Amino acid sequence: MNTSLSTPTLSQLIQRKPIDVSRLVVKTLREKGVKEILAYVGKRLKGLDEVVLDILSGLAVGRHIWIVGPVGCGKTTLAETIAEVLNLDNPPYIEVACHSHMTATELTGDIDIAVALQAGLDHPLAYIPGPLVLAHGRILILDEINRLSPYSQAALLQALQEHYVVIRGFRIRSDFLMIATGNPSEYSGTYDLSEALADRMKRVEITIPKRDLLKEIILWKAAIFIKDIDLDIDEKIAEVLATLAHLINKDSKIESEPSIRSCIYALATAASKAWIKGSEEISIEDLRKEVIQNMLPLIQGEFSSDEEKVKYLDKKFREALLIVSEMR
Amino acid sequence: MIESLAEIAVRVYEHLKDLPEVVYPGSVRSYIAAVKDAYMRLLLEDHLSPEKIIEIVSRTIYQNISASIVLENKADVFEEIKNTVIKALVVSSTEHKPLENFNSKTPILFREQEETEQESSKVLVVDRSESSLPSLKEAPLILTQESLTKSLEDSSFSIKRLKEKESFQINIVSRKTFTSIFEKAHPQYLREYDPSASAFDIDLTKTAINISRKRLFGRKFSHRDIIVKEFSSTDIKNTILCLDVSGSMRELEGEVPKIELAKRAAINYLKYLAHVRGKISFIAFNYKAETLFIFEDTRLKINKIESIISKLWACGGTNMYAALLKARSLQKLAPGRVHVIVVSDGKTVFKKKCLREARYLRKRGAIVSSIVVGSKSNEDFMLKISKIGGGVFHRLKSYKKLDKALIETESYLRKFYI
C-alpha cells in the first residue's frame, strides 16, 4: 500500500471541507459495476456475495457497517478487500486493531502541550491526528470493535453521526464510513457495544458456510499455502474437515466452534508433514493429530480439562470420517 | 418505492411493539437507515423475484434494527420481521403494486414516485429518508430537471459571489500618506555644462556664485563654472518587503495562524509585482533579520520566490532594527530608487534605533512605508516610521486584507512617482 499520508497541521485540519463519502461509494459502484466488485472480492473470499452486497448497500447510503462472525471466518479480510476495491482515496482505508486498553485519545489524537508551547499549535508535531481524523474521505476499519472499552466507544459516537471530532475545543471535520468487525458477545474479552453506538451501525452477520462450499474454501486456501510443496491433496480430506466443522457447530455443548482458518491450516500442516516424511499422500493419523493441534485452543464448551477436549475432537473426527466414507 | 419500503418498516415497527418478548422495538434512526438501505440493496440486485425481495427487505431491516432492538431472553425476531414483511408486501401490493415494480429489470432509480397522503409516522420516515439520500438523487446517470435547475442555481449563485468579490472594499482602518510633491522636481546630481544641456536645466544660483567669485578675484571664467541640474528617475522598481515572523505570528486568527495569512498575502503581492515588472528583496525578521532573496525579478522567478516564502516559520522575539539595517545594506545594491515596506505589529526592541535607521534610508533616497496589523499593536511607532520614511501608512484589523494593503501601497507610490 502506498502510504502517502502526510501529517497535516491543526489549522489545515480545522479548515477541512466536508466530503460526501457515500456519494463516492455510489460513484465507484456505477463506474466499476457490482459484478466486477463481486468478482474482485471472489478472488480472495468465496461464498460471501450476499454479504458483500449487504455491506455495499449500507455504505452507499452512508450507513456504518458492523460485521459479526466467529473467529477466522474472514471478517477483516472482507473489510479490507471491500475498502480496497472501492479505493476512495490513497491509501483507501485506515485500519485500527482495537483492544481493551485503547483510550479515546488514541482514536482521536491529542495536542502535545510541550510542543504547542514551544512551537505553536500549528507545528506538525503539536497535534498528531488519530485514525478517526486521518480517515477523512476514506473507509475506517475498526478490527474487533467490541474489544473497545465503553469509554473509548464513546469517542466514536460523535464522529460517526455528526462527522466531527473535537480535540481540546478545536472542531475537526472527519467524514468517513466505518466497517467494524467483531465477535458475538459470547466470546471472552469482549464488551457489549453501547446501544447508542450499535444503533449507528448495520449488523451484517457471517456464518460458517455450507458443507460443500466450506470444502471448496478449505481446498482452495490450503492449496495456496502449500503451493511450493509437490503434493496433491485428496478432496476427501477436505470433505472430512468440512464435515467435522459442521458436526461440532451443530453440537449444543460447544460454545465456540473451530474456525475456517483452523480447518485450512489443519489441512495445510498435514500436507507439509506428509511432504517432510517423504510420503505422497496425507495419512489419516497425521490429519487427526493436526486437527487436534490446530483446533484444540479454539474449542470452548463444557470441558473440565484439555484431555476431554482431545477426546471429544478425536471422537468427532472419527464420526466425520465415517460419514464421509459412507457417503462415498 | 421508498414509500412502500417505509410502509413496510412502519408495519414492522408496529408489529414488534405489540410482541411480548420485545422490550424496545428499535430507534427511529435505525428504521430510517433500514429504509434507505433496503432501497439501495434492491438496486444492487441483478434479478429480483418476489421471494428474493421478501428475503432482502426482511434481512436488511433486521440487519439495521437488530443492534438497537431490546429483547427479552435473547429471542430471535428475524422470522417475525419476515412474516410482517410478507404481510405488508401482500397488502401494499394490492394498493401500490410494489412487487411488479421490483420485478421489472429496468433500474428502479428512474421511476417517478407517486405522492399520496400517508399516516404521520410514515410521512416522517419518508421525509427523513428521502432528505438523507443525496447521493442517489443528486448523482443520477441521466440529468433530471430538478438537478439541472439546481446546478443552474448553483452557478448563478457563484457568479453573484464573484461579482460581490470584485466590488469588495478593502477593510482598512486608516491610511496616511507622507509622500512629498516637491520630491519629483528635486535634482539628484549637479554637473558641468555641455552643449547638449538644456538652458532650463542650468542652476542659476550656483552658476551666479561661481561667476561672482571669479570676478571678485579677477579670474577668467569658463564653461566649467556653469552648473547644470540633472534629474534622476523617480520611478520605483525595487521593493524591499520586511515581514515580521516573530512568535506572535503563531497566534490563530479565526482558524488560520497569522503567519499563514501573511505568507498568502505576500505571495499575492508578489504576483502583482510580477504583473507590473518589479524587483523584490524579502527580509523576514524576528530577533534577527534574514534576507531570503535580493532584488529578484518577480516576473521570471515567481515560482522560486513562492516556494521560499511558503517555507517561512514563526518564532522568537521582534527586532525591527535588524531588518531596517539589512534594508539599508541592500539599498546600496539596488540600481534605482528603493521602496521599503515594513509589516509588523510594531512591538519591537530598539525603537529609537529603528527611527534612526528609517531616517538614514530616507536620506539616501529610499521611501519607507509601514503596515501595522492587529488591535493590540503599537500604531504610533509605525506611523512615525512611515512619516520619517515619506511613505504610506496603513492600519489593518486583520492579516486577511494584508495583500490588498500591500498592493494599494505599491500602486499608489508607483502612480505618484511616475
CATH number for A244: 1.10.8
The pLDDT assigned to A285 comes to 86
The C-alpha cell that represents A77 in the structure block: 479480510
Same domain? For A24 and A169 the reply is yes
pLDDT in tens, A221-268: 888 888 888 777 888 888 888 888 888 888 877 777 788 888 888 888
User: Which residue segment(s) compose the domain that A313 sits in?
Assistant: 211-327
Same domain? For A78 and A190 the reply is yes
CB contact under 8 A, B136 and A58: no
Residue A181 bridge partners (DSSP): A67
Question: Is A60 in CB contact (< 8 Å) with chain B?
Answer: yes
Cα distance between residue B72 and residue A37, in whole Å:
39
**Paired sense of beta strands A127-129 and A109-111, if any:** antiparallel
Cα distance between residue B30 and residue B65, in whole Å:
5
Give residue for cell 460419514: A323
The pLDDT assigned to B240 comes to 92
* Domain-ending residue, one of A149, A172, A205: A205
Q: Tell me what the pLDDT averaged over chain B comes to.
A: 75
Same domain? For A94 and A175 the reply is yes
Tell whether the model's pLDDT for residue B122 goes beyond 70. no
Same domain? For A201 and A228 the reply is no
Residue A2 lies in a domain: no
Contact A127, A14 (CB under 8 A): no
Q: A17: domain CATH number? A: 3.40.50.300
DSSP-derived secondary structure letter, A165:
E
On chain B, the residues whose CB falls within 8 A of the CB of A57 are: 37-38, 40-41, 43-44, 60
The pLDDT assigned to B95 comes to 52
What's the maximum distance between 2 C-alpha atoms anywhere in chain A? 77
Cα distance between residue A27 and residue A206, in whole Å:
27
Residue A263 lies in a domain: yes
Measured torsion, CA atoms of residues B136, B142, B146, B151, in degrees rounded to the nearest 10 = 90
* Domain-ending residue, one of A172, A205, A238: A205
The pLDDT assigned to B418 comes to 57
Q: Is B13 exposed, middle or buried (0-12, 13-18, 19+ CB in 10 A)?
A: buried
ipTM of this model? 0.79
Question: Is A66 in CB contact (< 8 Å) with chain B?
Answer: yes
The pLDDT assigned to B99 comes to 47
The pLDDT assigned to B231 comes to 65
Class of domain B172-179+233-417: alpha beta
Give residue for cell 484589523: B397
Residue of chain A whose Cα is closest to the Cα of B33: A63
Among the ranges given (A43-47, B120-124, B389-393), the one the predictor scored with the smallest mean pLDDT: B120-124
Residue A5 lies in a domain: no
CB contact under 8 A, B44 and A198: no
Residue A3 lies in a domain: no
Question: With bands split at pLDDT 50, 70 and 90, how would you rate the model's confidence at B106?
Answer: very low
Residue of chain A whose Cα is closest to the Cα of B256: A11
Same domain? For A90 and A231 the reply is no
Same domain? For A132 and A215 the reply is no
Same domain? For A184 and A251 the reply is no
Using a CB–CB cut-off of 8 Å, the residues of B that contact A are: 27, 29-30, 33, 36-41, 43-46, 59-60, 63-64, 66-68, 70, 132-136, 138-139, 141, 247, 250, 252, 255-257, 259-260, 314-315
Same domain? For A160 and A113 the reply is yes
* Domain-ending residue, one of A160, A176, A205: A205
Tell whether the model's pLDDT for residue B317 goes beyond 70. yes
Tell whether the model's pLDDT for residue B129 goes beyond 50. no
The pLDDT assigned to A97 comes to 93
Residue B373 bridge partners (DSSP): B396
On chain A, the residues whose CB falls within 8 A of the CB of B250 are: 119-122
Same domain? For A141 and A52 the reply is yes
The pLDDT assigned to B250 comes to 84
Residue ranges per domain, chain B?
2-137, 172-179+233-417, 187-230
Query: Which amino acid, residue A42?
Result: G
* Residue ranges of chain A whose pLDDT lies below 50: 1-4
The pLDDT assigned to B94 comes to 52
Question: Is A23 in CB contact (< 8 Å) with chain B?
Answer: yes
Question: Is A26 in CB contact (< 8 Å) with chain B?
Answer: yes
Same domain? For A26 and A146 the reply is yes
Same domain? For A16 and A161 the reply is yes
Query: What total of structural domains would you count in chain A?
Result: 2
On chain B, the residues whose CB falls within 8 A of the CB of A30 are: 139, 141
The pLDDT assigned to A20 comes to 92
Tell whether the model's pLDDT for residue B105 goes beyond 50. no
Tell whether the model's pLDDT for residue B194 goes beyond 90. no
Cα distance between residue A210 and residue A6, in whole Å:
45
Same domain? For A150 and A257 the reply is no
Residue A1 lies in a domain: no
Q: Which residues contact A258 (CB under 8 A, 6 or more apart)?
A: A244, A245, A248, A294, A295, A298, A299
